[in-house]
Structure 1
Amino acid sequence: MTTATTTTTTGTTARAGRGRIATAAVLAAVLTGAVNGAVAVAAVAVGVTAVMPLNPAIDIAFSVLASIAGAIGWTIVNRRADDPRRVMAWLAPLVLLVSFVPDVLLAVATASSTGIAPILALSLMHVTTIVIAIGVYARLLPLKVSPAAA
Protein backbone atom coordinates (compact mmCIF):
# COMPACT_ATOMS: atom_id res chain seq x y z
CA MET A 1 0.00 0.00 0.00
CA THR A 2 1.33 3.44 -0.91
CA THR A 3 0.79 6.64 0.96
CA ALA A 4 0.50 9.95 -0.82
CA THR A 5 1.97 13.04 0.73
CA THR A 6 0.44 16.40 -0.01
CA THR A 7 2.30 19.62 0.59
CA THR A 8 0.56 22.95 0.63
CA THR A 9 2.17 26.34 0.68
CA THR A 10 0.70 29.36 2.33
CA GLY A 11 3.08 31.91 0.90
CA THR A 12 5.47 31.59 3.80
CA THR A 13 8.78 29.84 3.97
CA ALA A 14 9.69 27.18 6.46
CA ARG A 15 11.62 28.26 9.51
CA ALA A 16 15.32 27.94 8.89
CA GLY A 17 17.09 25.45 11.10
CA ARG A 18 20.33 26.13 12.94
CA GLY A 19 22.37 24.36 10.27
CA ARG A 20 20.97 26.52 7.51
CA ILE A 21 21.50 29.69 9.57
CA ALA A 22 25.08 28.63 10.32
CA THR A 23 25.68 27.87 6.63
CA ALA A 24 24.39 31.30 5.64
CA ALA A 25 26.55 32.99 8.28
CA VAL A 26 29.67 31.07 7.26
CA LEU A 27 29.13 31.69 3.54
CA ALA A 28 28.53 35.40 4.12
CA ALA A 29 31.60 35.53 6.39
CA VAL A 30 33.84 33.85 3.82
CA LEU A 31 32.63 36.04 0.97
CA THR A 32 32.69 39.33 2.89
CA GLY A 33 36.01 38.46 4.50
CA ALA A 34 37.58 37.75 1.13
CA VAL A 35 36.18 40.88 -0.51
CA ASN A 36 36.99 43.18 2.40
CA GLY A 37 40.47 41.72 2.79
CA ALA A 38 41.02 42.39 -0.91
CA VAL A 39 39.69 45.95 -0.57
CA ALA A 40 42.14 46.61 2.27
CA VAL A 41 45.10 45.17 0.36
CA ALA A 42 44.15 47.02 -2.83
CA ALA A 43 43.63 50.31 -1.02
CA VAL A 44 47.06 50.16 0.61
CA ALA A 45 48.62 49.00 -2.69
CA VAL A 46 47.36 52.12 -4.47
CA GLY A 47 48.76 54.39 -1.80
CA VAL A 48 45.95 54.82 0.72
CA THR A 49 47.39 55.50 4.16
CA ALA A 50 47.27 52.27 6.13
CA VAL A 51 45.36 53.35 9.23
CA MET A 52 44.91 50.63 11.84
CA PRO A 53 41.35 49.64 10.82
CA LEU A 54 42.54 49.25 7.21
CA ASN A 55 44.21 45.94 7.99
CA PRO A 56 43.11 42.71 6.28
CA ALA A 57 43.19 40.65 9.49
CA ILE A 58 41.03 43.18 11.34
CA ASP A 59 38.70 43.61 8.38
CA ILE A 60 38.22 39.86 8.00
CA ALA A 61 37.51 39.47 11.73
CA PHE A 62 34.89 42.22 11.62
CA SER A 63 33.41 40.72 8.44
CA VAL A 64 32.96 37.40 10.25
CA LEU A 65 31.36 39.06 13.28
CA ALA A 66 29.05 41.16 11.09
CA SER A 67 28.03 38.09 9.07
CA ILE A 68 27.17 36.08 12.17
CA ALA A 69 25.27 38.98 13.75
CA GLY A 70 23.51 39.64 10.46
CA ALA A 71 22.35 36.03 10.05
CA ILE A 72 21.02 36.01 13.60
CA GLY A 73 19.27 39.36 13.16
CA TRP A 74 17.82 38.30 9.80
CA THR A 75 16.45 35.12 11.38
CA ILE A 76 14.93 36.96 14.34
CA VAL A 77 13.20 39.46 12.05
CA ASN A 78 11.97 36.65 9.80
CA ARG A 79 10.54 34.72 12.74
CA ARG A 80 9.02 37.59 14.69
CA ALA A 81 7.95 40.31 12.28
CA ASP A 82 4.49 40.23 10.76
CA ASP A 83 5.96 41.46 7.48
CA PRO A 84 9.72 40.72 7.48
CA ARG A 85 10.23 42.09 3.97
CA ARG A 86 8.85 45.47 4.99
CA VAL A 87 10.96 45.48 8.15
CA MET A 88 14.12 44.59 6.21
CA ALA A 89 13.36 47.31 3.64
CA TRP A 90 14.02 49.96 6.32
CA LEU A 91 16.21 48.00 8.77
CA ALA A 92 19.02 47.06 6.37
CA PRO A 93 19.65 50.65 5.19
CA LEU A 94 19.44 51.84 8.80
CA VAL A 95 22.04 49.27 9.91
CA LEU A 96 24.28 50.38 7.05
CA LEU A 97 23.95 54.04 8.05
CA VAL A 98 24.71 53.26 11.70
CA SER A 99 27.74 51.22 10.62
CA PHE A 100 29.21 54.40 9.12
CA VAL A 101 29.35 56.12 12.54
CA PRO A 102 32.81 54.72 13.45
CA ASP A 103 34.09 55.73 10.01
CA VAL A 104 32.84 59.28 10.49
CA LEU A 105 34.45 59.44 13.93
CA LEU A 106 37.71 58.11 12.49
CA ALA A 107 37.52 60.68 9.70
CA VAL A 108 37.09 63.49 12.21
CA ALA A 109 40.05 62.21 14.23
CA THR A 110 42.46 61.40 11.39
CA ALA A 111 41.43 63.06 8.11
CA SER A 112 43.85 65.94 8.56
CA SER A 113 46.81 63.55 8.72
CA THR A 114 45.67 60.63 6.54
CA GLY A 115 43.19 62.18 4.16
CA ILE A 116 39.75 60.83 3.40
CA ALA A 117 40.84 57.82 1.25
CA PRO A 118 41.16 55.36 4.18
CA ILE A 119 37.67 56.29 5.34
CA LEU A 120 36.28 55.76 1.85
CA ALA A 121 37.92 52.32 1.69
CA LEU A 122 36.47 51.39 5.08
CA SER A 123 33.04 52.69 4.06
CA LEU A 124 33.21 50.61 0.87
CA MET A 125 33.76 47.56 3.06
CA HIS A 126 30.56 48.32 4.98
CA VAL A 127 28.62 48.48 1.74
CA THR A 128 30.13 45.27 0.37
CA THR A 129 29.43 43.48 3.64
CA ILE A 130 25.74 44.34 3.69
CA VAL A 131 25.23 43.73 -0.03
CA ILE A 132 26.89 40.31 0.10
CA ALA A 133 25.14 39.36 3.35
CA ILE A 134 21.69 40.32 2.09
CA GLY A 135 22.30 38.34 -1.09
CA VAL A 136 23.37 35.25 0.85
CA TYR A 137 20.60 35.50 3.45
CA ALA A 138 17.91 36.14 0.84
CA ARG A 139 19.00 33.01 -1.00
CA LEU A 140 19.58 30.68 1.97
CA LEU A 141 17.19 32.19 4.54
CA PRO A 142 14.29 33.54 2.45
CA LEU A 143 12.00 35.95 4.22
CA LYS A 144 8.45 34.84 4.75
CA VAL A 145 5.72 36.62 2.86
CA SER A 146 3.19 38.39 5.03
CA PRO A 147 -0.39 37.21 4.60
CA ALA A 148 -1.38 40.78 3.65
CA ALA A 149 1.22 40.88 0.86
CA ALA A 150 0.35 37.44 -0.52
Structure 2
Amino acid sequence: MAKTLAPVKPVTAVGYLLAATVVACLVNIGIAALAHAAGASEDFEPLTIGAYVTYTVVGIIAGTIGWALVRQRAENPRAVLRWLVPTVVVISFIPDVAMFFVPDFQPNANAVGIIALLVMHVVVAVCAVAALVRALPIDRQPA
Protein backbone atom coordinates (compact mmCIF):
# COMPACT_ATOMS: atom_id res chain seq x y z
CA MET A 1 0.00 0.00 0.00
CA ALA A 2 1.32 3.47 -0.89
CA LYS A 3 2.24 5.85 1.86
CA THR A 4 1.76 9.60 1.78
CA LEU A 5 3.17 12.41 3.84
CA ALA A 6 1.17 13.90 6.65
CA PRO A 7 -0.90 16.85 5.39
CA VAL A 8 0.35 20.40 5.86
CA LYS A 9 -1.88 23.26 6.92
CA PRO A 10 -0.21 26.38 5.47
CA VAL A 11 -1.38 28.75 8.22
CA THR A 12 -0.15 26.37 10.92
CA ALA A 13 3.18 25.86 9.14
CA VAL A 14 3.74 29.60 8.80
CA GLY A 15 2.84 30.07 12.47
CA TYR A 16 5.41 27.50 13.60
CA LEU A 17 8.09 29.01 11.38
CA LEU A 18 7.37 32.55 12.57
CA ALA A 19 7.50 31.35 16.17
CA ALA A 20 10.83 29.61 15.50
CA THR A 21 12.21 32.79 13.95
CA VAL A 22 11.10 34.96 16.87
CA VAL A 23 12.45 32.51 19.47
CA ALA A 24 15.78 32.12 17.63
CA CYS A 25 16.14 35.91 17.31
CA LEU A 26 15.37 36.46 21.00
CA VAL A 27 17.82 33.78 22.10
CA ASN A 28 20.46 35.19 19.75
CA ILE A 29 19.92 38.68 21.20
CA GLY A 30 20.72 37.18 24.60
CA ILE A 31 23.78 35.37 23.26
CA ALA A 32 25.08 38.57 21.67
CA ALA A 33 24.52 40.51 24.90
CA LEU A 34 26.37 37.87 26.91
CA ALA A 35 29.19 37.79 24.36
CA HIS A 36 29.58 41.57 24.49
CA ALA A 37 29.55 41.47 28.30
CA ALA A 38 32.22 38.74 28.19
CA GLY A 39 34.54 40.75 25.93
CA ALA A 40 33.35 40.50 22.33
CA SER A 41 33.89 43.78 20.54
CA GLU A 42 30.85 46.00 20.00
CA ASP A 43 32.35 46.61 16.55
CA PHE A 44 32.31 42.92 15.61
CA GLU A 45 29.80 43.19 12.76
CA PRO A 46 28.38 39.64 12.89
CA LEU A 47 27.27 40.29 16.48
CA THR A 48 25.22 43.36 15.54
CA ILE A 49 21.48 42.88 15.65
CA GLY A 50 20.99 43.64 11.96
CA ALA A 51 23.48 40.98 10.94
CA TYR A 52 22.41 38.08 13.13
CA VAL A 53 18.67 38.70 12.79
CA THR A 54 19.08 38.73 9.00
CA TYR A 55 21.12 35.53 9.07
CA THR A 56 18.63 33.92 11.44
CA VAL A 57 15.77 34.62 9.03
CA VAL A 58 17.82 33.47 6.03
CA GLY A 59 18.87 30.31 7.90
CA ILE A 60 15.31 29.37 8.79
CA ILE A 61 14.10 30.05 5.24
CA ALA A 62 16.96 28.02 3.72
CA GLY A 63 16.38 25.22 6.21
CA THR A 64 12.68 25.17 5.40
CA ILE A 65 13.37 24.93 1.67
CA GLY A 66 15.84 22.10 2.21
CA TRP A 67 13.49 20.29 4.60
CA ALA A 68 10.59 20.61 2.14
CA LEU A 69 12.70 19.24 -0.72
CA VAL A 70 13.90 16.27 1.32
CA ARG A 71 10.37 15.69 2.62
CA GLN A 72 9.01 15.68 -0.91
CA ARG A 73 11.71 13.70 -2.69
CA ALA A 74 13.36 11.29 -0.26
CA GLU A 75 12.05 7.79 0.20
CA ASN A 76 12.92 8.03 3.90
CA PRO A 77 13.04 11.75 4.79
CA ARG A 78 13.67 11.07 8.49
CA ALA A 79 16.84 9.09 7.70
CA VAL A 80 18.09 11.74 5.27
CA LEU A 81 17.41 14.63 7.66
CA ARG A 82 19.02 12.74 10.55
CA TRP A 83 22.43 13.11 8.86
CA LEU A 84 21.76 16.16 6.66
CA VAL A 85 20.80 18.64 9.40
CA PRO A 86 23.93 18.15 11.54
CA THR A 87 26.10 18.10 8.41
CA VAL A 88 24.71 21.43 7.22
CA VAL A 89 25.18 22.96 10.69
CA VAL A 90 28.82 21.83 10.80
CA ILE A 91 29.41 23.19 7.29
CA SER A 92 27.86 26.50 8.39
CA PHE A 93 30.59 26.71 11.06
CA ILE A 94 33.36 26.97 8.44
CA PRO A 95 33.36 30.78 8.00
CA ASP A 96 33.25 31.31 11.77
CA VAL A 97 36.03 28.82 12.48
CA ALA A 98 38.09 30.47 9.72
CA MET A 99 38.09 33.64 11.84
CA PHE A 100 40.27 31.81 14.38
CA PHE A 101 42.95 31.20 11.75
CA VAL A 102 42.73 34.15 9.34
CA PRO A 103 43.29 37.34 11.34
CA ASP A 104 41.87 39.74 8.74
CA PHE A 105 38.90 37.54 7.81
CA GLN A 106 36.56 39.61 9.98
CA PRO A 107 37.65 42.82 11.73
CA ASN A 108 37.29 42.95 15.52
CA ALA A 109 36.81 39.17 15.86
CA ASN A 110 37.93 37.48 19.05
CA ALA A 111 37.33 34.04 20.55
CA VAL A 112 34.31 35.15 22.59
CA GLY A 113 32.57 36.63 19.56
CA ILE A 114 33.36 33.68 17.33
CA ILE A 115 32.12 31.15 19.89
CA ALA A 116 28.92 33.20 20.26
CA LEU A 117 28.39 32.94 16.50
CA LEU A 118 28.89 29.17 16.58
CA VAL A 119 26.30 28.87 19.36
CA MET A 120 23.92 31.04 17.33
CA HIS A 121 24.13 28.57 14.42
CA VAL A 122 23.05 25.78 16.74
CA VAL A 123 20.21 27.90 18.16
CA VAL A 124 18.84 28.60 14.68
CA ALA A 125 19.06 24.92 13.72
CA VAL A 126 17.35 23.74 16.92
CA CYS A 127 14.53 26.29 16.56
CA ALA A 128 14.07 25.49 12.88
CA VAL A 129 13.96 21.72 13.41
CA ALA A 130 11.57 22.07 16.36
CA ALA A 131 9.20 24.05 14.14
CA LEU A 132 9.67 21.98 11.00
CA VAL A 133 8.84 18.63 12.60
CA ARG A 134 5.43 20.16 13.32
CA ALA A 135 5.02 22.43 10.31
CA LEU A 136 6.19 19.94 7.67
CA PRO A 137 5.90 16.46 9.23
CA ILE A 138 8.28 13.91 7.75
CA ASP A 139 6.52 10.74 8.81
CA ARG A 140 4.69 8.87 6.11
CA GLN A 141 1.26 7.49 6.78
CA PRO A 142 -0.83 4.86 4.99
CA ALA A 143 -2.77 6.14 2.01
TM class, shorter-chain normalised?
0.7 to 0.9
- Which residue identity is paired with 1:46? A
Among 70, 75, 97, which residue is 2:90 paired with?
97
Instruction: Determine if contact 1:48/1:117 at 8 Å carries over to the other structure.
Output: yes
Could you state the TM-score of these two structures normalised by the residue count of structure 2?
Answer: 0.82
Partner of 1:5: none
Q: Structure 2: 5+ residue runs without aligned partners?
A: none
Q: Which digits, 9 at most, give the CA deviation of each residue in 1:54-82, with x for residues without a partner? A: 11221111101111111121111111110
User: In the alignment, residue 64 of structure 1 is paired with which amino acid?
Assistant: V
Q: Which has the higher strand share?
A: 2
Question: Aligned to 2:36, what secondary structure does the other structure show?
Answer: helix
Counterpart check, 1:40 vs 2:32: yes
Paired residues of 2:47 and 2:113 also in contact (CA < 8 A): yes
Q: Pairwise CA RMSD of aligned residues?
A: 2.3
1:123-142 equivalences in 2 (<5 Å): 123-142=118-137
* Corresponding residue number in structure 2 for 1:78: 71
Out of 28, 39, 53, the position equivalent to 2:46 is 53
Structure 1: 5+ residue runs without aligned partners? 1-9
User: Contact between 2:14 and 2:135, CA under 8 Å: does it hold in 1?
Assistant: no
Query: What's the CA shift string for 1:66-125, capped at 9, x where partnerless?
Result: 1111112111111111000000011001110110011022222339x7431111110000
Instruction: State the identity as a percent.
Output: 34
Q: Is contact 1:16–1:141 with CA below 8 Å preserved after alignment?
A: yes
Query: Aligned partners of 1:58, 1:114: CA distance in 2, in Å?
Result: 14
Equivalences, count: 137
* Aligned residue in 2 for 1:116: 111
* Paired residue type of 2:6: A
Q: CA deviation at 1:18?
A: 4.1
Q: 2:5 touches 2:141 (CA, 8 Å); kept in 1? A: no
Q: TM-score, normalised by structure 1?
A: 0.79
SS in structure 2 at match of 1:121: helix
Within 1, Cα distance between the matches of 2:30 and 2:56? 12
1:139 deviates by 2.2
Q: Structure 2 counterpart of 1:119, which letter?
A: I
Match of residue 25, structure 1, among 17, 31, 45: 17
Deviation of 1:11 (Å): 6.5
